[in-house]
Structure 1
Amino acid sequence: MAKQILKTLSLTSALTVTAVLGTISSQSFAMSPFQAGYQFSYNGKNIGSATRTLAKSGNNWSYAFVAKAVGLASATETSKFTLNNGQISSTSFSRTSKVLVHNNTMSINFNPSTKLINTKKDDKTRSFAWKAGVLDELNAELQLREDLKKGTLKSNYYLADAKEIEARKFVKQGNEKVTTSYGTFDTMKVVLKHDKPGRETIFWLAPKLDYLPVKVTHVDKKTSYGLLLTSYKGQTS
């Protein structure tokens, strides 16, 4: 379950892109550090929490995601990258997850000098041919936000995982108000289209919080996961 939890939460980032097509407007800001906290639910029951933290040192950025399902599982993802003229250049990505006593790890290293993207999942290693602009599941959110502010969205965003590089597409489905323990927000509703039947991921993005996802739901056949914002420290409009 931890892997699905982690994937659900990190996918939140990718959907920010489609918000640019909405009618809600917001002031444009440069990327800046923030921290957001979420309540995590499984099949309608609140079972844990999650945080997203963006930090900066010079032009080196670190984006971390941590999720904990009390007594069941935990997961941590970290993305490292640089930013130049609104374009993210991926450096590395790592994931660790634990379900009861079982641990799993995954890492991605982006190597422009060797024209390779190297991955390792537990003991399995792979290498892919270099492709400029390839993102990971976490920094994709941030790249999409940067594009959103410029109004120059790409038709596809390419993300690397342990096995491949794949294109992601997103679809906007209108605007909704979302109430959280942190407040009520006007949001843009965005759906991630999955190839597999029975799967659906929906994000609600708040322009007031620089298009931060304030709510996320993911359904995989009979199983559902959810996130709802509980705290935020960062830039607002």
Structure 2
Amino acid sequence: MPGIMRKLLLTTLSTALLSSAVQAGQPSPGLAPFTASYEIDWDGSISLSGDTVRQLKQGPEQQWQFESKASAMFASIYESSRFTWHNQIPQPLEYNFKRSVLGKKRLAEVHFDWQNSLVTNKVENKPWKMEISEGVQDKISYQLLLQQEVAAGKQDFNYSVADGGHLKEYRFKVDGREQIEAPIGSYEAIRVIRVRDEDSNRQTYIWFAPELDYQIIKLKQIEKKDKAYTLLLRELAP
């Protein structure tokens, strides 16, 4: 069961990304509601599989809702980010996290107060609060910006993310191009790697397909030499 939990957490760390912007209540070029379905496989001492669905929906008052739902056997994870588009980047308003493993649940709610430059979190009776500056992202909204900046041709990426009562730096860089075979088909993709500390055993690779509006077609995370998690795009719909 610990393997299932790690596999599901993969979707929260670095999975598929969206485009992003709202102007006068209309989608900006490159941003449109969609539903992307993925299959997940975990290679380790035992083999497990599951599914992930990621969805972008347009809401009222120039707001957007991005959701990720992952499930495998007796475990599930749900994440959501409600945001607006401000100064050419996502501005998170609320982030929610729900995890259930064998009936045990964990919930977290993060609220962004941009008027007072504060973010607060209510999680398992251990709330935290901290100051933030413009540009800070939640744990999945940064993914929207990453996808957009890959499409714009950037090579290096650095994001400040409100995570566990701290501001953490998430760093990525373009690592080349590669032809990817996935259930949805074969596409040339831009490979992006997450930059980690030299002593880290973890490696994360993300492949963005230009022909699919830079949606993620594949993600692979290596925990140890004998443990790897792979996510492949199965279906993409408006």
Q: TM-score range by the shorter chain?
A: 0.7 to 0.9
Give the AA of the match of 1:226.
T
Indicate conservation of the 8 Å contact 1:111/1:130, yes or no: no
Matches within 5 A, 1:2-17: 4-13=6-15
- Over the aligned positions, Cα root-mean-square deviation in angstroms equals 2.4
- CA-to-partner distance for each residue in 1:143-189, whole Å, 9 max, x for gaps? 22333444567752111122311111112221111111111110011
- Structure 1 residues 212 and 78: CA distance shift in structure 2, 3 A: same
Counterpart pick for 1:218 among 212, 216, 221:
221
TM-score where L is the length of structure 1:
0.84
- Tell me which residue corresponds to 1:168: 170
Partner of residue 198 from structure 1, selected from 201, 204, 214: 201
Identity across matched positions, percent: 26
Contact 1:14 1:144 in 2 (8 A): no
Equivalent position of 2:36 in the other structure? 36
C-alpha distance in 2 between matches for 1:98 and 1:16: 25
Q: Which runs of 5+ in 2 are unaligned?
A: 20-27
Shift of 1:15: 7.7
Q: In structure 2, what residue type is equivalent to 1:91?
A: L
| Structure 1: runs of 5 or more not aligned | 18-27
Q: Secondary structure at the match of 1:169?
A: strand
Report deviation, 1:200.
0.7
Q: Among 148, 152, 159, which residue is 1:157 paired with?
A: 159
Give TM-score, length-normalised by structure 2: 0.84
Question: Aligned with 2:14: secondary structure?
Answer: helix
Question: How far apart, in 1, do the equivalents of 2:150 and 2:53 lie?
Answer: 23
- SS at structure 2 position matched to 1:124: coil
2:212 pairs with 1:232 = no
Q: Distance in 2 between matches of 1:171 and 1:98?
A: 33
Equivalent-residue separation in structure 2 for 1:110 and 1:142 (angstroms): 17
| CA deviation map 1:13-55 (0-9, x unaligned) | 58889xxxxxxxxxx9431111100001112635210000000
Question: 1:15–1:146: structure 2 CA closer, same or farther, 3 Å change rule?
Answer: closer
Deviation larger for 4-13 or 160-169: 4-13
Question: How far apart, CA to CA, are the structure 1 residues paired with 2:36 and 2:175?
Answer: 24
